[in-house]
């Protein structure tokens, strides 16, 4: 999210939070509920133009979608800003000496990425995706009467593709026959 969008977002949240805090001091529960509803409705009518908040309120999922995927200044739609980082090589978990060593290695990886952040798929690569792939293979084997049936995997929010690459690599190594009949569909809204 651009700095301007973040400031607008913080201002909107702060305005709503401080308004609801002020109205919560009413003595009657029914008055308090009515006051909070009225305050939220007033805050919605004083919205920033980019938010397009409906007059009857806004669901959290809609607010998050707007903040992350708004075409003009959403967090994931900025061409100059790739917020999700990719590690050049996995963390060697077998060589770590404990939690402090893990924290030190992870802090070093973050220092190399500057302002990017890492998803669990990146941090625990390939183990995270391997666990998902094992589950997919188990479910595919249990749910199919025909062992030669196709496997279609859908990933929502595939981002950099690390999870897809590792899941497919695990399936290829664990069961080449299933891999030959596997189709992987990635759905990533930030690319559209």
Out of 22, 51, 77, a domain closes at 77
Report in angstroms the alpha-carbon separations of 179 from 68, 134, 163, 182.
34, 13, 16, 5
Residue 85 in any domain: the answer is: no
Give me the number of domains the chain comprises.
2
67 within 8 A of 9, measured Cβ to Cβ: yes
Residue 91 in any domain: the answer is: no
Burial per residue of 132-159, b for 16 or more beta-carbon CB atoms within 10 angstroms, e otherwise:
bbeebbeebeeeeeeeeeebebebeebb
Residues whose CB falls within 8 Å of the CB of residue 157, separated by 6 or more in sequence, listed in order: 187, 188, 189
Question: Could you give the 3-state DSSP secondary structure of residue 116?
Answer: coil
Residue 117 in any domain: the answer is: no
pLDDT band at 179 (very low <50, low <70, confident <90, very high): very high
Which pLDDT score is estimated for 147?
59
Which pLDDT score is estimated for 166?
96
Out of 56, 77, 98, a domain closes at 77
Which residues are paired to 154 by β-bridges? 185
Which pLDDT score is estimated for 18?
41
Residue 90 in any domain: the answer is: no
Measured distance CA(34)–CA(158) in Å, rounded: 42
Residues of the domain holding 50: 3-77
Q: Is the pLDDT of residue 22 over 50?
A: no
Q: Identify which of 83, 59, 58 has the alpha carbon closest to the alpha carbon of residue 6.
A: 83
Give tens-digit pLDDT for 32-60.
444 444 444 444 444 445 556 667 777 88
> DSSP string spanning 64-75?
HHHHHH-TTT-G
Residue 45 in any domain: the answer is: yes
Residue 108 in any domain: the answer is: no
pLDDT band at 185 (very low <50, low <70, confident <90, very high): very high
pTM here is: 0.61
Share of the chain above pLDDT 70, in %: 66
For the segment 10-39, the average pLDDT, to the nearest whole number, is: 42
Residue 109 in any domain: the answer is: no
Give tens-digit pLDDT for 72-116.
777 777 766 667 788 888 999 999 999 999 999 999 998 888 778
Instruction: Name the DSSP class of 34.
Output: H
pLDDT band at 131 (very low <50, low <70, confident <90, very high): very high
Measured distance CA(55)–CA(170) in Å, rounded: 49
Report in angstroms the alpha-carbon separations of 31 from 37, 121, 183.
10, 48, 56
Q: Identify which of 137, 142, 125 has the alpha carbon closest to the alpha carbon of residue 173.
A: 137
Q: Which one of 61-65, 84-88, 126-130 scores highest in mean pLDDT?
A: 126-130
Q: Is the pLDDT of residue 142 over 60?
A: yes
Element (H, E) at 63: helix 60-69
Instruction: Name the DSSP class of 187.
Output: E
Out of 18, 46, 77, a domain closes at 77
Residue 86 in any domain: the answer is: no
Q: For 18-173, where are the E strands, in sequence order? A: 151-156
């Amino acid at each position: 999210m651009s700095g301007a969008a973040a400031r607008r977002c913080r201002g909107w949240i702060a305005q709503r939070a401080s308004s609801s805090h002020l109205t919560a001091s009413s003595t009657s529960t029914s008055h308090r509920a009515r006051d909070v509803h009225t305050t939220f409705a007033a805050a919605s009518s004083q919205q920033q133009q980019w938010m397009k908040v409906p007059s009857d309120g806004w669901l959290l999922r809609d607010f998050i979608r707007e903040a992350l995927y708004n075409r003009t200044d959403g967090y994931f739609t900025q061409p100059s800003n790739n917020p999700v980082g990719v590690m050049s090589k996995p963390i060697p978990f077998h060589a770590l000496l404990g939690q402090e060593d893990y924290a030190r290695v992870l802090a070093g990886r973050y220092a190399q990425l500057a302002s990017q952040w890492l998803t669990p798929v990146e941090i625990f690569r390939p183990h995270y995706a391997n666990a998902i792939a094992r589950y997919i293979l188990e479910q595919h084997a249990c749910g199919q009467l025909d062992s030669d049936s196709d496997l279609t995997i859908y990933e929502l929010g595939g981002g950099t593709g690390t999870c897809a690459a590792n899941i497919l690599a695990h399936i290829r190594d664990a069961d080449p026959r299933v891999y030959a009949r596997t189709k992987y569909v990635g759905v990533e809204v930030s690319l559209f």
